[in-house]
Amino acid sequence: MFDLVLQGPAMLSDGRHDACWIGVQEGKIAAIGQGDAPDAAEVHIVTEGIILPGVVDGQTHACSYGGLPGIESTTRSAVAGGVTTLVDMPYDNPDPLNTKARLDEKIATINAVAYADMALYATVAPGQDNSEIAPLIEGGVVAFKISTFESNPTRFPRIQTPQILSIFETLAPTNIPLGVHNEDQEMVHAFMAAAKKAGQNGLVAHSESRPASAEMSATAQFLELGAAAHAHAHIVHLTTARGFQLVDNYAFDGYRATGELCVHYLWFDPEIDGEELGAKMKVNPPIRPGEIDALWEEILAGRVALISSDHSSWPIDNKLTPSIFDAGAGIPGMETLLPCFYTAAEQRGLDAAALTAEMLSERPARFFGLFPQKGAIRIGADADFAILKHQPQIWDSANAHDDLNWSPFDGRVFSVTVDRTYVRGQLAWDGKNICNQPGSGTFVPRGNGHWFEDEETPS
Amino acid sequence: MFDLVLQGPAMLSDGRHDACWIGVQEGKIAAIGQGDAPDAAEVHIVTEGIILPGVVDGQTHACSYGGLPGIESTTRSAVAGGVTTLVDMPYDNPDPLNTKARLDEKIATINAVAYADMALYATVAPGQDNSEIAPLIEGGVVAFKISTFESNPTRFPRIQTPQILSIFETLAPTNIPLGVHNEDQEMVHAFMAAAKKAGQNGLVAHSESRPASAEMSATAQFLELGAAAHAHAHIVHLTTARGFQLVDNYAFDGYRATGELCVHYLWFDPEIDGEELGAKMKVNPPIRPGEIDALWEEILAGRVALISSDHSSWPIDNKLTPSIFDAGAGIPGMETLLPCFYTAAEQRGLDAAALTAEMLSERPARFFGLFPQKGAIRIGADADFAILKHQPQIWDSANAHDDLNWSPFDGRVFSVTVDRTYVRGQLAWDGKNICNQPGSGTFVPRGNGHWFEDEETPS
Amino acid sequence: MFDLVLQGPAMLSDGRHDACWIGVQEGKIAAIGQGDAPDAAEVHIVTEGIILPGVVDGQTHACSYGGLPGIESTTRSAVAGGVTTLVDMPYDNPDPLNTKARLDEKIATINAVAYADMALYATVAPGQDNSEIAPLIEGGVVAFKISTFESNPTRFPRIQTPQILSIFETLAPTNIPLGVHNEDQEMVHAFMAAAKKAGQNGLVAHSESRPASAEMSATAQFLELGAAAHAHAHIVHLTTARGFQLVDNYAFDGYRATGELCVHYLWFDPEIDGEELGAKMKVNPPIRPGEIDALWEEILAGRVALISSDHSSWPIDNKLTPSIFDAGAGIPGMETLLPCFYTAAEQRGLDAAALTAEMLSERPARFFGLFPQKGAIRIGADADFAILKHQPQIWDSANAHDDLNWSPFDGRVFSVTVDRTYVRGQLAWDGKNICNQPGSGTFVPRGNGHWFEDEETPS
Amino acid sequence: MFDLVLQGPAMLSDGRHDACWIGVQEGKIAAIGQGDAPDAAEVHIVTEGIILPGVVDGQTHACSYGGLPGIESTTRSAVAGGVTTLVDMPYDNPDPLNTKARLDEKIATINAVAYADMALYATVAPGQDNSEIAPLIEGGVVAFKISTFESNPTRFPRIQTPQILSIFETLAPTNIPLGVHNEDQEMVHAFMAAAKKAGQNGLVAHSESRPASAEMSATAQFLELGAAAHAHAHIVHLTTARGFQLVDNYAFDGYRATGELCVHYLWFDPEIDGEELGAKMKVNPPIRPGEIDALWEEILAGRVALISSDHSSWPIDNKLTPSIFDAGAGIPGMETLLPCFYTAAEQRGLDAAALTAEMLSERPARFFGLFPQKGAIRIGADADFAILKHQPQIWDSANAHDDLNWSPFDGRVFSVTVDRTYVRGQLAWDGKNICNQPGSGTFVPRGNGHWFEDEETPS
């Protein structure tokens, strides 16, 4: 007898099944079958929706504003949005995650307050030597991240090129990627200074002061440094098709290079939404006008490694500044990630369920070494599920669970609703209420899988 | 409660699982799980082997010699070799399968005498119009085949180029491939006449009279005719890496073109085995010297659509002729297909189980539109299994089940033995004896899947 | 003091010069300069035209109808059209050029009656062994040609595939190309029989009975045979862009393969000109509808080795048959080759003079091993010139010099006129009259240059 | 009657001629011929050498040390080495060439003291706006150059990325390339500091503190900035094959990108020559070990735009410093450029004369818009010649003409000697003595030609 059986249409790891059951035992998927559902302590039958693997959000900033306590609200929002695992960024307030001691502290907080499972990025501070890298990997971090632009001297500093190379050299013998926030600081500073001097302060000024050229300048340099060290270089957000094509050139030349897309680059266009949203759609790098079609081509060509939320827990006050340049960059996006991507794919006539399972679950899980524990509905995997129903909804952040009460998606129509979320077999969201507790989520260390499976593996 | 449960390591459709159980109900895979096996009428535990999907042999000549009755012995041999589905060629004795009436007759025989399941190729006779093509497709054939070389004026005739084009044009709007036996008749006739005139009559003379150039001449012409009609052109046996590269050029140019390899091209080399085997290794096109390494590169590069046996039921008398030119072409290979390929892959240090499941089961099933019913261990598929154990064996055709009592593989060592075979949940072979009955096998019509899934599908 | 000095704008081997002089001594270009012209026995100043290298027509049938005497009228037409060297095909009436004895005879005739220089193709008759190939090469032929279609059992027979391979194998160690008339005989015969049976007899029936698929079937087979022998395979006329792309695939794979275009494929379209011209535009392979733009793209992409006339000396009676199937294939095109190509290039906004010098002079000269003696205005080369003036003309075959009195180009407007032609320094055409004599032309043997200069040269 | 006639074997623009004459009138090549030489005021017959086009050195630093007066000795050395045109870098002492006024001054100096012709690079100073760019182009500069590394705050400063982008944007509508000295300043500073701290001070320390990764980091960033602006980005020295391949990726993607090689990267290897030469082979970026073979492959694959000397007029005192880090970077290389490259090509069995004419004359002339005035022996071009004889020599800087009295090439054997040099028809070097005068050389402004001729030209 199983602890739980789900029954209905599902996107399994080997494709869609229209009528199957999934048996859960001790938090794992113990069996998958068709026909009559076996006995279980709890049976849930999906009649008009579809069972998807729980979403693995590859890029979250849970603690940028409120520090470690931000984990609680962010993961609560996650399960309400069908996200069962978050990969959290290291730029915590007040101090980033750059030592084993801070990793232990963050893990402890996760295990105490999280509603969803969490994997963790780490970073290296300016001038810090690489001695903490091995303990951090040993401690289970899935990736490292640095920035070529200083957002904050302590929390989110710029790392100079010699140190980037040094980190790459340390990571080269491993499967651990080094991700980058990719903007050229000299360019952005110069353009921002010029804009301010000219008295500009709107969203257009923000975009123009961080042009695609600044993004690509940092991207090209970072990719080449990764290539020089034969390490895995990962661009955590590319906003143009050209970016993914450049990454692909490196992959074609035999280097380990990948690029990631965030869902808002597929949804908003400053020329359409800019006037309404203003600073509410300020993200870095900025959303480019007229790029959405080209980005979809990159996804369908297989050049986008994964799609993530880049969720940031900024309060709205942080956006309501006289000048755009004083507004915080980043937007809440955890709870909208799944319905937003699904809706966008469906509107293009694509197989939205299959693409969602691939781009939001299996690929991020594989990318961060969490597969096969996470990322797909298959025997032996964690029983993480997001059950969608085809019931359209108008997004209203007042009903969201991130304690932020604002969203650039307010008023947008999504074609689906998250009906249920299970984390390791436990009901976390029933379509109306959060059903699990702080501490139901847990820290997930990196496993043995890795992205460049076909390549000769570094030892 | 299931009818049957298998338990042990298995190559599932989404990868290897070291300890799982597979529940079978009414001949289908009803559930797959891990942990304690559920109740079942019959439980079989695999302790030291591996459960593979049953092999789908994409190229069998069951009826070339003995006519339709040949189905019985060929399928008996199949199940003893882990082959659960055969795709049989149309060149039956005395008349080929080129009408709906003959299809009905062959299906009736299959359903009466087969031990394994069978799918069917059809053909078109010289000068026959294309009016039978639609009824044959409607009747469930998986592919058509013609030859550019006449082996027999009725059974295995040469089709002229205008008729090849015409068949391609009729098939173009469908997903049905047209396969070809690819040898240039003018070249082979001329070279054979020269060899005979020179008094040559050994295996070398056979090879030299059917050189790679004759094979490639016919191949290139056939591919171009398929391209002209925008139909799916399939070369049923290519013996050189160049052949697969030529096919790949057509695929790269956007045409539907595929090439198949037979397992003996990966095992024998005339310069090593020719003296011992002579006519016993006569196949058409001939096995080339020194080509095995290059062919493996084609497999690993993904340019080989599938691997098959090209099993022919010739009695040994047919080989013991004074001149090689009078000997029948073709060899028994059904029962050796699986152990032979597995052994060859293992000897190269490859993941033999994964490659076997891919090249001998899933790819042929997908190619012939039999997937997902056949070709992989997944929920809802037919419960066709081949269970291997790692027990080396020296092949001895005296113990084979094809009633032929000879094999070019006699004395060769295989690293594995077929321990059990199940056809749709029924035990067909227990490692020593055939356990099912004539008529346990059944005709399998083409399903909805097709090879060029990603391409724009012809309606 | 030079024998002759030409002065004016010229397309030299290293580019256009707007004001230069060319000094000729003993039939060779002895000096090229700018500034005041040096002393000369004869000075000709070009004021409003341009001096081009004499055209090298890579494909002429001077003797298909009238036998060797046809050389006189064909070469007379040549010099009137700016063509100073013809590469003549071997399909002479009544017997083709397939022995050293016939080569000697043809050379003797050329030296006696030709107005322009001539290089020669040879052929091999069905069943003939290859023993004449070496003497023919020794005797100076530039290439061999065979056909896959029998136009005439003696003069223009089909060569079977084993013999094609054999010829390729004999030529493989040399730089001599084997050209092919590329049409699949079985296909053409079948389609022609069907058309006749259906009572069709117009130009459309001709085209449909020799479709692109028949051309490509023969082309693919021939290219593969050449590849098998590692010899130079040349398609003497491709009528579609696909043809050139297929050739390019072979070149990309490292084989010596080339394709040629004839100028009428760039000028006529059966859907536009068919009704007016009927059999007057019957050529084999047929001109395809709507292909001209795509063929120009092939030229500009560098995939067309050279452009030729395929001039055939058929009398008009040969065209005025009740059925298109009884009409001779081929058209007069010698005298129109240069103005036609120049006009077509100019109409597309291209640099017509540069393209003409490249595609009609330098490339054919290089292709047939005649460069640097022929094909470009450079020191030491033969003093062969075609001087164009920008004076439009309406073509009227009554004024042509081929004794045929008909042309498919009648009434077409060319943007240029051939003002003067010099053959090895001798004035051959002054814009109104033929100025040289029978025997002024001479046989030109193949030199040392070859097409695949960059490739590793066969010894 | 000509002013001058040279007679003998020559590498003309359309290939080698074994016996020709070249007639010069008023400094231009007025005629080229074969046979008896025409009358001339002066006739020079080359019996055992070869006449090459004068070398166009694409990268000279004549004024880095001694300021504008350096032009005299540098150009004197040039003509003694067969170099007839120098493209001089803008990093003059004490101030760089970044205004029209300084251009005028430099031109005046050239016209007063130069022995060879000179074209000029310009630059833009840090923080300088782009208003001088148009006047400088108008004034005839052939290219602009900046550095990503500060060698000197005034003369050779680092330009920040926003300014690089800005310069690119200004140059984008033109054919003028922006060249770069490509080293990442942050990396070099960090690595140098570390080396100094560790007490290292030899050539190895120099190389390790400026690794290929620092070169490639700057290169990638610069190429991407050029791509962003759709301008022509030129890397003035790449030291590894990877560098040229990266440039080629940009070209393949449709951007204007080129890379240049300096001859010392083809001649020295630090593991072979380092111990002997030490600081005498210090150049930036450093010469890499074991890279020569791979660089030749890049040349033969056509991925190296041109080859230059990067001649720097440092006195030897500048090299004899206790620490390598205090030694000047750069070496004298003007007079050795031609014999060094010719010898290296010959030693590899290549056609040294043809490669020299291509890589050292025609390509640099085309690259900098000086062709057809410079770079090839053709009618109408400047009568600039370098006559080589096949007489081996052991290099001895004591006999050189650059007033420097040291060279890393001292003691090296070259297989050829520069026998004569002519600048615009005037004998400048007779194999023993300088024969022309200060002021015989002249400034050469950029012409109309450009490198990306086949590309759609920016207006």
Q: Does A175 touch chain D (CB under 8 A)?
A: no
Residue B203 lies in a domain: yes
Between the two ends of chain C, the Cα-to-Cα distance in Å is: 42
- The C-alpha atoms of residue D392 and residue D398 are separated, in whole angstroms, by 17
Q: Does C184 touch chain B (CB under 8 A)?
A: yes
Q: Compute the mean pLDDT over every residue in chain C, rounded to the nearest whole number.
A: 96
Q: CA of A301: which chain B residue's CA is closest?
A: B454
pLDDT at C459: 34
Residue C12 lies in a domain: yes
Q: Does C25 touch chain D (CB under 8 A)?
A: yes
Interface contact D379-C20, CB threshold 8 A: yes
pLDDT at B458: 36
Residue C100 lies in a domain: yes
Q: Does C216 touch chain B (CB under 8 A)?
A: yes
| H or E segment and range at residue D162 | helix D161-171
Q: Does A421 touch chain D (CB under 8 A)?
A: no
CB atoms within 10 A of CB B425: 21
Chain B: closest CA distance from residue A404 (Å): 40
Chain B: closest CA distance from residue C115 (Å): 42
Is residue D459 very low, low, confident or very high in pLDDT (cuts 50, 70, 90)?
Answer: very low
| Axis-axis angle for helices A212-229, D212-229 (nearest 10) | 150
- The C-alpha atoms of residue D114 and residue D59 are separated, in whole angstroms, by 16
Chain B: closest CA distance from residue C161 (Å): 6
pLDDT at A176: 98
Interface contact D17-C376, CB threshold 8 A: no
pLDDT at B81: 98
Q: Which residues of B touch C189 (CB under 8 A)?
A: 162
Closest by Cβ to C217, choosing from B190, B191, B224: B224
pLDDT at A96: 98
Interface contact A224-D246, CB threshold 8 A: yes
Please tell me whether residues C156 and C127 are part of one structural domain: yes
Interface contact B31-A30, CB threshold 8 A: no
Give the pLDDT mean for A91-102: 97
Please tell me whether residues A247 and A387 are part of one structural domain: no
Question: A11 to each of A8, A49, A355, C37, how far by Cα in Å?
Answer: 10, 11, 10, 85
Residue found under tokens 């300021």: D67
- What's C278's DSSP letter? G
Give the pLDDT mean for C8-15: 96
Residue found under tokens 């016996």: D19
Give the pLDDT mean for B266-283: 95
Q: CA of B21: which chain A residue's CA is closest?
A: A31
| Of D229, A167, C228, nearest in space to B212 by CA | C228
| Of C327, C452, C375, C425, nearest in space to C58 by CA | C375
Please tell me whether residues B348 and B417 are part of one structural domain: no
Q: Does D223 touch chain A (CB under 8 A)?
A: yes
Quick one: what percent of chain B has pLDDT higher than 70? 98
Q: CA of A454: which chain B residue's CA is closest?
A: B300
State the SS3 of C319-349: CCCCCHHHCCCCECCCCCHHHHHHHHHHHCC
- The C-alpha atoms of residue C438 and residue C112 are separated, in whole angstroms, by 6
The tally of CA atoms less than 13 A away on the side-chain side of residue B144 is: 32
pLDDT at A201: 85
- The C-alpha atoms of residue D138 and residue D146 are separated, in whole angstroms, by 19
Whichever domain contains C411, its CATH number is: 2.30.40.10
Interface contact A14-B38, CB threshold 8 A: no
pLDDT at B313: 86
Which chains have at least 3 CB atom pairs separated by less than 8 Å from chain A? B, D
Domain endpoint, select from D367, D400, D419: D367
Contact predicate B90/B96, CB 8 Å:
yes
| H or E segment and range at residue C120 | strand C117-122
pLDDT at residue B457 is higher than 80: no
- The C-alpha atoms of residue D384 and residue A337 are separated, in whole angstroms, by 69
Q: What is the dihedral of CA C45, C51, C56, C60, to 10 degrees?
A: -70
Query: Please, which residues 363-392 of chain C have a Cβ atom closer than 8 Å to chain D?
Result: 372, 376, 378-380
| Of C115, C132, C141, nearest in space to C54 by CA | C115
Q: Which residues of D touch A193 (CB under 8 A)?
A: none
Please tell me whether residues D173 and D71 are part of one structural domain: yes
pLDDT at residue A384 is higher than 90: yes
Contact predicate B78/B99, CB 8 Å:
no
Chain B: closest CA distance from residue A33 (Å): 4
Q: CA of B224: which chain C residue's CA is closest?
A: C217
Please tell me whether residues A235 and A256 are part of one structural domain: yes
Is residue B51 very low, low, confident or very high in pLDDT (cuts 50, 70, 90)?
Answer: very high
Q: Does C259 touch chain D (CB under 8 A)?
A: no
Interface residue of D379, D382, D453, D454 to substitute, partner C, most C CBs within 10 Å:
D379
Q: Does B172 touch chain C (CB under 8 A)?
A: no
Please tell me whether residues D268 and D409 are part of one structural domain: no
Interface confidence, given as ipTM, is 0.95
pLDDT at D458: 36
Residue D372 lies in a domain: no
Q: Which residues of A touch D187 (CB under 8 A)?
A: 161-162, 165
Interface residue of C6, C36, C358, C379 to substitute, partner D, most D CBs within 10 Å:
C379
pLDDT at residue D181 is higher than 60: yes
Chain B: closest CA distance from residue A36 (Å): 9
pLDDT at residue A371 is higher than 70: yes
pLDDT at residue A114 is higher than 80: yes
pLDDT at residue A6 is higher than 60: yes
Give the pLDDT mean for A194-207: 91
Tokens at residue C156, please?
């223009």
pLDDT at C454: 52
Q: Does C30 touch chain D (CB under 8 A)?
A: yes
Please tell me whether residues A254 and A278 are part of one structural domain: yes
Interface contact A220-D216, CB threshold 8 A: no
Count how many pairs of residues, chain A against chain B, have C-beta atoms within 8 Å.
63
Interface contact D31-C34, CB threshold 8 A: yes
Please tell me whether residues D151 and D271 are part of one structural domain: yes
pLDDT at C458: 36
Give the pLDDT mean for D38-49: 95
Secondary structure (3-state) at C156: strand
Q: What is the dihedral of CA A394, A396, A397, A402, to 10 degrees?
A: -60
Residue A15 lies in a domain: yes
Please tell me whether residues D67 and D162 are part of one structural domain: yes
pLDDT at residue D144 is higher than 90: yes
pLDDT at residue D454 is higher than 70: no
Residue A450 lies in a domain: no
| H or E segment and range at residue D18 | strand D15-25
| H or E segment and range at residue B180 | strand B178-181
- The C-alpha atoms of residue A221 and residue D182 are separated, in whole angstroms, by 12
- The C-alpha atoms of residue B95 and residue B125 are separated, in whole angstroms, by 10
Is residue B93 very low, low, confident or very high in pLDDT (cuts 50, 70, 90)?
Answer: very high
Give the pLDDT mean for A434-450: 96
Interface residue of D221, D244, D288 to substitute, partner A, most A CBs within 10 Å:
D221
Is residue A454 very low, low, confident or very high in pLDDT (cuts 50, 70, 90)?
Answer: low
Tally of domains in chain C: 2
Interface residue of A161, A164, A209 to substitute, partner D, most D CBs within 10 Å:
A161
Beta strands in C170-298 (DSSP E): 178-181, 233-235, 257-262
Q: D74-130 pLDDT, tens per residue?
A: 999 999 999 999 999 999 999 999 999 999 999 999 999 999 999 999 999 999 999
Q: CA of B381: which chain A residue's CA is closest?
A: A34
pLDDT at A406: 97
Is residue D313 very low, low, confident or very high in pLDDT (cuts 50, 70, 90)?
Answer: confident
Give the pLDDT mean for A250-267: 97
| Axis-axis angle for helices A241-252, A212-229 (nearest 10) | 10
Q: CA of A29: which chain B residue's CA is closest?
A: B33
Give the pLDDT mean for A418-443: 98
Interface contact C160-B190, CB threshold 8 A: yes
Is residue A459 very low, low, confident or very high in pLDDT (cuts 50, 70, 90)?
Answer: very low
Whichever domain contains B211, its CATH number is: 3.20.20.140
Interface contact A165-D227, CB threshold 8 A: no
Total length of chain D: 459
Give the pLDDT mean for D274-292: 96
Q: Compute the mean pLDDT over every residue in chain A, rounded to the nearest whole number.
A: 96
Q: CA of B20: which chain A residue's CA is closest?
A: A379
Residue D443 lies in a domain: no
Give the pLDDT mean for A63-69: 94
pLDDT at A456: 38
Please tell me whether residues B243 and B274 are part of one structural domain: yes
pLDDT at B143: 98
Quickly list H helices, B348-416.
Answer: 352-356, 363-367
Residue C437 lies in a domain: no
Interface contact B249-C253, CB threshold 8 A: yes
Interface contact C31-D38, CB threshold 8 A: yes
CB atoms within 10 A of CB A198: 9
Beta strands in D188-264 (DSSP E): 233-235, 257-262
Q: Residues B372-376: contacts with CB within 8 Å, 24+ apart?
A: B372/A15, B372/B449, B373/B444, B373/B447, B374/B54, B374/B56, B374/B84, B374/B85, B374/B117, B374/B444, B375/B53, B375/B56, B376/A14, B376/B12, B376/B13, B376/B53
CB atoms within 10 A of CB B328: 20
Please tell me whether residues C122 and C206 are part of one structural domain: yes
Q: CA of A33: which chain B residue's CA is closest?
A: B31
Closest by Cβ to C33, choosing from D17, D23, D376: D23
Q: Do chain A and chain B touch with ≥3 beta carbon pairs under 8 Å?
A: yes
pLDDT at C259: 98
The tally of CA atoms less than 13 A away on the side-chain side of residue B337 is: 38
Please tell me whether residues C40 and C99 are part of one structural domain: no
Question: D82 to each of A13, C83, D417, how far by Cα in Å?
Answer: 70, 43, 9
Which range marks the domain in which residue B388 is found?
A: 2-51+380-429
Interface contact A220-D223, CB threshold 8 A: yes
pLDDT at C1: 84
